[in-house]
Structure 1
């Protein structure tokens, strides 16, 4: 593991740092997986400096970001998740999406997008929460996570290093 404290969180800062890391640590980067949170500058720097590595998003940081969004939202989403069993079910389903594969697999034809569609279908059957969750599901989950970050970077399907994320999430208070 490599850690760094920086005064800036910019693409150029991350690029400079990773170029130094690459010089100091002569590893076989073809077989390396780099796990990051979802900060765009960080992810882009990894792609630039380590193009042959697998970039993997962190499930804990996905969950943390979704929960923070809900707490900060102007339409009091978090309160809805706390008071409505149906809405709480939707939140749990959304947080579980990264456990599905990004694309169909030989042993699993069900993808993250399929899971998202099931969530949408479930919400559409719940008139009490349907309207309040539209912006969350389509404006945030679909537009930000699926279109900008992409399912490939979110999915943790079949990964062995997930135990640390689960332990961290259990310690994280909603």
Structure 2
């Protein structure tokens, strides 16, 4: 899925394709490690526009991913619908004085600038990177998911835990036997 920059005309180039996740090495590895599963192929729409020696890529990726709930570990289906914009440049500019709203200096990568390697844009890299960035960090089967008991492992959504209640917060469990000499 490499695109030669010589194939991009002045009016730009529009691409649409549907590919299974197994055709993207990083996504295939996630599935092999059983971290997630992609039950549907990726639907990708891209628009590539040349601009003063640069190439502006805007795109949209739609798919769904099945991943374990971060609280109860049940398989959870999450719809991914993400849009992105990147600009490929032949040379990264020196950025001095560019700051974000918090006063931090902004790097070329944070501005969406990508160094063009040779005369080809690797669309496979772009797509799989955007899918990984769009995946939820802590997916939930439901906002009200109660998770698993940290001691016995009971699914608190389906059953009541038989563990004895504790009189103290687990945050301070390490301090319960602390003795302070006066």
Q: TM-score, normalised by structure 2?
A: 0.23
More strand by share: 2
Q: TM-score, normalised by structure 1?
A: 0.23
Higher CA-based Rg: 2
The answer to which structure has the higher helix fraction is 1
